Amino acid sequence: MSKLAAQRIQSNLDRLQLARVAEILDEEVKRATEEKMAYSEFLDRLLGEEISTRDVRRVKTALRLSNLPSEKTLENFDYTFQPTVDRARTMELGNLDFVRRRENVILLGPPGVGKTHLACALGVRACQAGMGVYFTSLTDLVKKLVVADRNPGVRSKGLGYVKAQVLIIDEVGYLPLERQHAHLFFQLVSRRYEQTSIVLTSNKTFTEWAQVLGDPVIATAILDRLLHHAHVINIRGNSYRLREKAKLVAAEAER
Ligand code: ADP
Ligand code: MG
């Protein structure tokens, strides 16, 4: 290849934004020559490399923008420890058809049973599938909604919660909401209803939501929309956080 041709190729790859091809071209040309590679195979290799590099980068960016606190997975959830969580059903949710159907997932149960873990794991799957994901606690979400409510028209960068295809709302019920804040929460749920998915975790039963949300009418209105198309996973079991402690106690008792 002439030096001129090589330069032109690099500058064209640059214009086409094929950064990965530009990076590996020399090496790949050398290899193709040595191995007497078919032209189609050569092209296939180059394009494949470009695409896979982009996929990796896209998932990384999606994970960063998602605000997900950790990269928990559906695979590293211990289903034998938590028998009320059905592995097959959870894996099925992991296929994300619920997002395509704009349905919600509600994870209920006492502290430490893996609600946040599973919600995050679904979020990670969605990021990998190229979906927009945003993770927030209800408390932080309400703070954002209050700011947005006071500054209508202000386009802040932190609007992930509005646009995300999958909005994960963690810890509904840990802190009670003021009535006015519950109303902002209602507006958000109502806006997303049948448009995009919500994955939500709560340590309170639906009947307790009336108290948590400060107003039974608003609680009912929120639940009405959330539950219309929803998969509810009710986890009843022991805290995973306390399992080591439980083991110690058991060992102590056997002595
Ligand atoms: P919750 O949100 O229900 O209070 P978390 O999801 O935060 O509980 O779980 C607490 C910790 O225990 C996390 O680090 C989580 O990854 C881990 N954990 C919980 N349940 C399981 C499980 N069944 N298998 C593996 N890790 C678990
Ligand atoms: Mg939690």
Give pLDDT tens digits for 79-114: 999 999 999 999 999 999 999 999 999 999 999 999
DSSP alpha helix (H) spans, 16-86: 19-34, 39-66
- For residue 42, the tally of other CB atoms under 10 A from its CB is 16
| Ligand nearest to C-alpha 108 | 1
Paired tokens of 95: 């296929």
CB of 105 closer than 8 Å to CB of 199: yes
Nearest CA to ligand 1 atom 9: 114
CB of 74 closer than 8 Å to CB of 122: yes
Q: Is 110 in the pocket of ligand 1 (CB under 6 A)?
A: no
The CA distance from 67 to 64, in Å, is 6
Beta strands in 165-250 (DSSP E): 166-172, 197-202, 230-234
CA of 118 to the centre of ligand 1 (A): 8
The one-digit pLDDT tens for each residue of the chain (255 residues) are: 789 999 999 999 999 999 999 999 999 999 999 999 999 999 999 999 999 999 999 999 999 999 999 889 999 999 999 999 999 999 999 999 999 999 999 999 999 999 999 999 999 999 999 999 999 999 999 999 999 889 877 765 556 787 899 999 999 999 999 999 999 999 999 999 989 999 999 999 999 999 999 889 999 999 999 999 999 999 999 999 888 777 777 777 777
CA of 28 to the centre of ligand 2 (A): 48
The CA distance from 119 to 86, in Å, is 14
CB of 108 closer than 8 Å to CB of 205: yes
CB of 106 closer than 8 Å to CB of 200: yes
Q: Is 202 in the pocket of ligand 1 (CB under 6 A)?
A: no
Give pTM, 2 decimals.
0.87
